[in-house]
Amino acid sequence: MKEKILKNCRIIDPSQKINEIGSILIDDNGKIKDLGKNVKISKSSTRTEEIDCDKRIAIPGIIDMNVFVGEPGFEYKENFRTLTQAALAGGVTSVVTMPNTKPLIDNVSMVDFIIRRGRDKSNLNIFPAACLTREMAGKEMVEFGLLNSRGIIAFTDPYQAIQNTEIMSRIMDYASDMGVLIMQHVEDYELSKDGCINEGEIATRLGLQSIPSIAEKIIIERDLTLLEEFPCRYHINQISSQKSVEVIKKNKKNGKKFTTGVSINHLSLNDNDIGDFKTFLKFAPPLRSENDRKSLISAINSDLIDVIVSAHKPEDEESKRLPFTQAATGSIGVETLLPLVLELYHNKSVDLLKLIELITINPAKILKIDKGTLKVGSDADICIFDPDKPWKVDANKLKSKSKNAAIENKSLQGKVLMTFLKGQLVYS
Amino acid sequence: MAVIKKTLAIKNSPKHLLGIQNLSILEAQKILNEAKAFIKLNRSNTKKLDTLRGKTQINLFFEPSTRTQSSFDLAGKRLGADVMTMNMSNSALKKGETLIDTAMTLNAMHPDLIVVRHQDSGAPNLLSQKVNCAVINAGDGRREHPTQALLDALTIINRKGKIEGLKIAICGDIKHSRVARSNIYLMNMLGAEVNVIAPKTLMPDSIEQLGVKAFTSMKKGLESCDIVMMLRLQNERMKGSFLPSKREYYEYFGLTPEKLKFASNDALVMHPGPMNRGVEIDTKLADDINVSLVKEQVELGVAVRMACLKLYCK
């Protein structure tokens, strides 16, 4: 590979607090060699490929901590190839894949399969998560140590919460010693039973069983209480409500160490958008009120939320063309994560540097991976985007195999122009 | 209380009767006026018309129903339509057919009207997107039961002459009731003041946003009401996490002659049926022809459904 220089770009790298116009020099091994205002090309410049970025923004490749890949078992919804195309088109270079496949990723042989498959079919940095409990039944913990040594980055039962407090305490106790990352979906099943929408006027009008936000709060409070006794690496996958923000604020004040994620859907949409039973807007946790949405944004501004994820959940038509109560939850989103994040910058909700931090260096820190940064010597995973370019979402033009985009027809501002993976231009 | 106009979450295409929520006041009045004409017809000796001759009406009931189903059945037949009733609670759905597939299948038979009842809120909306004929909602989940509200309105107009200015109390399991929701929208639209009365566990969240006053006491909620609408309490909710017992419910929320005295002197009692005598309503009160409108509701139900079938059939 030839040496490359990305010239004339506005470099934003929160990991080094860089926000300046300059160049990025990539060496012939795909590593970052130098960056900033005064980058010098050592050898004769003819051997260096020059790319003019025309003052567009360059950030570290995005890390998406919550992505469903569909392999094995759900290839009709998504596969490594389509996920890769979608991710790279969205500037996402690293993904944490969810283990709720068929069969589940809950044992060592499945880990080997997923890693091999990911390597063969995708050039993305794939970080597979495994189930937290065997068969995702919430009863017996999986082999944290063995799975971790085979390449599992985190443990989670996607869209399922451990209900039994004793089991959760054992998991946290054991995990604290093993040093593995636990990612919890926070939902009390008794309180959320049969529910599919936020509690409030919209639920009453649509006549749908609701999921109160205390269903989320109560599990967060329980887990954070357990965390006092068993200080493991604990991450809350997604929060959706103001009540949860308050609990997190209180616990962070007390010095508790844990991290919190939010999906871009909950930052961009509210329950009013569900309109006439639009099943593409059915989510777990459900979209909450505008008030909740605003409180999530202010939680980002006060450092209470650490990461933004796409919660990319491809679903086929058959799972969505159903009465609202029966329809599957979730939306595709890995490709539109950045443009939706930029919406929060354009409408002056959050500072751009802060937003980039939440999709690059923060997830890298939580996952303890050497990504999400443009530091000299790290892999040249880079996303170049135009923050202002307007475009309209057309699900048929998105790369994902499934077309369940919650933001179909939405006008967005900001588009990825180029994505580099280990120095290679992989999307433009 | 004035009608609260809100940006509505549901769009009701004019071709279908999916709910009261997006019915305009003119459309509602048109149905009620049309229905008035059918009351006389239904009381006469020759009840058959040929308004809908050659039209096909399919009653698609995913949830068991006696009165609504027979009422729609009769209404269609009296207008001369060919009526086919399909009880889906034990058929195709159990074989795994989706609602959309069922809709497409039926659509291929070229019906002119589909009357649908479904246990899921919003199912008629979904169905209506997939068929070429008019869809009439005969009750979906806990969302809407528009023809019930219309027949209630007609019954009140028949007795009180008008709805505007009346004070109406709706009592019982508001949370799970589509009848309550449709009536709240319609009575509000027609200018009545609506109170809802329920135990806290059966009161939906943000119900006051729908333009009603919420009470947990019959005494306060019934004060100076002209109409008292009682709702059926489903068996499975009589005990367990919603309520401690039938007995306690009757004590605090069952309508007795004593509690009716809190309402105005000439208050009338309604119930969408079927009634749980001794649970939500005192049995003598239910049969008292001076105060109970229950039988009249059933009678006018046929007229209202005839009007809906006629107006929505293209």
Which of B11, B121, B209 minimises the CB distance to A201?
B209
Q: Is B86 helix (H, G, I), strand (E, B) or coil?
A: strand
* Degrees, nearest 5: CA angle B302-B305-B307: 110
ipTM of the complex: 0.90
Residues of B with CB under 8 A from a CB of A: 8-11, 21, 98-100, 118, 120-123, 125-126, 140-144, 178, 181, 204-207, 209-210
Beta pairing partners, A308:
A262
Closest CB to B9 among A275, A321, A323: A275
Residue B27 reports pLDDT greater than 70: yes
- Asked if the Cβ–Cβ distance from B99 to A318 is below 8 Å, we say no
Query: Beta-carbon neighbour count of residue A2 at 10 Å?
Result: 10
pLDDT of residue A327: 96
A62-67/A92-97 β-pairing: parallel
Task: Please return the burial class of B27, using the count of CB atoms within 10 Å of its CB with bins 0-12, 13-18 and 19+.
Answer: middle
pLDDT (mean) for B171-184: 96
> What are the tens digits of pLDDT across the range B106-127?
999 999 999 999 999 999 999 9
Residue, of B86 and A314, whose pLDDT is higher? A314
Q: B73 is written with which tokens?
A: 């059945």
pLDDT in tens, B182-201: 999 999 999 999 999 999 99
User: How deeply is B281 buried, as exposed, middle or buried, from its count of CB atoms within 10 A (0-12, 13-18, 19+)?
Assistant: buried
Is residue A282 predicted with pLDDT exceeding 70?
yes
pLDDT classification of B241: cutoffs 50, 70, 90: confident
* Number of residues that make up chain B: 314
Give chain B positions within 8 Å (CB) of A318. 98
The per-residue pLDDT for A280 is 97
Q: How many Å separate Cα A19 from the centre of its chain?
A: 23
Task: Say how far apart CA A172 and CA A350 lie, in whole Å.
Answer: 33
The residue to which tokens 């269609």 are assigned: B76
The neighbouring-strand residues paired with A216 are: none
Q: Give the whole-number percent of chain A exceeding pLDDT 70.
A: 99
pLDDT of residue B17: 97
Confidence band of B239 (pLDDT split at 50, 70, 90): low
Phi, psi for residue A103 in degrees, rounded to 5: -70, 165
User: In terms of CA atoms, which chain A residue is nearest residue B126?
Assistant: A323
Tally C-beta pairs within 8 A across A and B: 81
The answer to whether residue B9 scores a pLDDT higher than 90 is no
Does B206 have pLDDT greater than 50?
A: yes
Contact yes or no for A49/A2 (Cβ under 8 A)? yes
Mean pLDDT over each residue of chain B, to the nearest integer: 91
Closest CA to A307 of A275, A246, A266, A270: A266
Q: Is the pLDDT of residue A243 over 80?
A: yes
Closest Cα in chain A to B123 = A323
Q: Is the pLDDT of residue A295 over 90?
A: yes
Alpha-carbon distance of A330 to A403, in angstroms, equals: 11
- CB neighbourhood size of B49 (10 A): 15
pLDDT above 90: residue B286: yes
Query: A42 pLDDT exceeds 70?
Result: no
**Helix (H) and strand (E) counts for chain A?**
14, 18
Residue A402 confidence (pLDDT) above 60: yes
Is the pLDDT assigned to residue B238 strictly greater than 80? no
pLDDT, position A41? 74
For residues A58-76, average pLDDT: 96
- Model confidence band, residue B91 (pLDDT cutoffs 50, 70, 90): low
Tell me the average pLDDT across B12-32: 87
Band (B12; pLDDT cuts 50, 70, 90): very low
Residue B8: its pLDDT value, please? 47
pLDDT tens across A100-127, in order? Answer: 999 999 999 999 999 999 999 999 999 9
Q: What is the mean pLDDT of chain A?
A: 96
A206 touches chain B (CB under 8 A): yes
Taking residues A320-332, what's their average pLDDT? 95
Residues of A in contact with B102 (CB under 8 A): none
What is the rounded CA–CA span in Å between residue B93 and residue A118? Answer: 39
pLDDT in tens, A162-173: 999 999 999 999
Residue A394 pLDDT more than 60? yes
Task: Give pLDDT, residue B97.
Answer: 78
Section B73-84 average pLDDT: 97
**Average pLDDT value for residue range A10-24:** 96
Q: What is the pLDDT of residues B126-170, one digit of tens each?
A: 999 989 999 999 999 999 999 999 999 999 999 999 999 999 999
